[in-house]
């Protein structure tokens, strides 16, 4: 039974909107295909019908890139409260203050843990926070059996490049320092992120190469890996309601404004001369994502460099599916597959 408006912190009208969205997402695929056009991409892959329905509605919504960053962040948080997964109960949730005033939350699903994932959220380096990612990261903690450390790194335009990467290094060192206290061996700490957060995780693993302690695994969920170039998926899905070319440009102009070299591997990890010596990787991409080819290219380069790499393709999904699990069974199944892959890789 769905939580009441009072329990979710949203208005009655927003609660009704949520129920309608969840209900539509759970209709049989055969019925949804009668209600909405289901697109196919250039590879012949079909979008999941409930995702097609969601994208039809999203195309009519206001564009956050027409707002100020503060307004866009407020709109994103409101959307997460209306449509996000209801937070799973955890065995332990700990609010932390890291050096430099950074905030983080550590989730543990049960009484013990199989390891730690240091997680950097998406949002184009401009949007999102721990509140928006509370439910998705509880979901990951539950299905991996690992602690998840949700890091609230500084955002652009107030704190453009390289601030998020400096914060990532602080978070990594904090995790190493506190892992024993949490009962986690140092060789069972992974780094992960989605979209911009996956960029942060990828850059962090490159910066840590040669250090005594490196991540046991890097988990890159629909990553942006090249901020300087363009690939076929950028053009094919330029008008995707999940992430448009206009929105990507809005993000990049605030995160890497004029004067920042976007070809620097610390900005675009795909452009590093050498990817040898990095930890094993999981890379997942969505079939209808403008960043799909960024992820494919990085997975290919890792493999060519001798890095054990598992590539997970989710053909029917769009950018941001990690946050669509309440509305899309296809998204929910994809996140469960990712969690299972993490468990296998850490075994």
Please list the active-site residues: 195, 289, 319
Integer Cα distance of 268 and 200 in angstroms: 10
Separation of alpha carbons 283 and 308, rounded Å: 11
Burial pattern 169-184, b for ≥16 Cβ within 10 A else e, equals ebbbebbbeebeeeeb
User: By the 8 A CB rule, do 204 and 168 touch?
Assistant: yes
DSSP of 190-235, one letter per residue?
Answer: EEEEETHHHHHHHHHHHHTTTSSS--S-EEEES----SS---HHHH
Rounded Cα distance between 109 and 139, Å, is 9
Query: β-strands 189-194, 116-120: how paired?
Result: parallel
**Token code pair at residue 1:** 């039974």
* CA atoms within 13 Å, Cβ hemisphere of 313: 13
The structure tokens listed for 191 are: 């780094």
User: Which residues, in sequence order, are bridge partners of residue 116?
Assistant: 147, 189
Distance CA 346, CA 203 (A): 21
Q: What are phi and psi of 192, to 5 degrees?
A: -155, 165
- Strands in 309-314's sheet, in edge-to-edge order, are 92-97, 103-108, 147-152, 116-120, 189-194, 218-221, 281-286, 309-314
Q: 314 in helix, strand or coil?
A: strand
Please name the residue that has the structure tokens 């960043």: 291
Distances (CA, A) of 337 to 65, 176, 310, 333: 32, 28, 12, 6
């Amino acid at each position: 039974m769905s939580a009441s408006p009072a329990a979710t912190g949203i208005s009655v009208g927003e609660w009704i909107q949520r129920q309608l969205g969840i209900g539509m997402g759970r209709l049989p695929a055969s019925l949804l295909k009668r209600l909405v056009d289901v697109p196919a991409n250039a590879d012949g892959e079909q979008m999941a019908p409930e995702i097609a329905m969601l994208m039809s509605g999203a195309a009519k919504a206001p564009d956050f890139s027409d707002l100020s960053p503060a307004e866009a962040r407020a709109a994103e948080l409101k959307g997460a409260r209306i449509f996000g997964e209801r937070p799973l109960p955890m065995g332990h949730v700990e609010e932390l203050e890291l050096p430099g005033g950074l905030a983080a939350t550590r989730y543990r699903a049960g009484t013990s843990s199989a390891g730690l994932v240091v997680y950097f959220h998406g949002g184009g380096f401009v949007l999102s926070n721990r509140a928006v990612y509370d439910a998705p990261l509880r979901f990951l903690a539950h299905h991996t059996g690992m602690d998840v450390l949700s890091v609230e790194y500084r955002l652009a335009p107030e704190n453009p490049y390289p601030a998020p990467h400096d914060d990532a290094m602080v978070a990594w060192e904090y995790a190493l320092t506190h892992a024993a206290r949490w009962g986690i061996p140092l060789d069972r700490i992974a780094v992960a992120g989605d979209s911009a957060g996956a960029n942060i995780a990828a850059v962090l693993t490159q910066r840590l190469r040669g250090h005594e302690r490196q991540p046991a695994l890097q988990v890159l969920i629909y990553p942006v890996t090249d901020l300087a170039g363009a690939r076929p998926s950028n053009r094919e899905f330029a008008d995707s309601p999940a992430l448009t070319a206009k929105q990507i440009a809005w993000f990049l102009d605030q995160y890497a404004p004029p004067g920042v070299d976007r070809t620097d591997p610390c900005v675009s990890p795909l452009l590093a001369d050498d990817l040898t010596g990095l930890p094993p990787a999981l890379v997942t991409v969505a079939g209808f994502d403008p960043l799909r080819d960024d992820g494919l290219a990085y997975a290919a380069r890792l493999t060519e460099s001798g890095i054990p790499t598992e590539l997970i393709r989710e053909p029917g999904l769009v950018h941001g599916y990690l946050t669509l699990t309440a509305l899309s069974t296809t998204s929910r199944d994809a996140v469960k597959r990712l969690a299972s892959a993490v468990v296998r890789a850490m075994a």
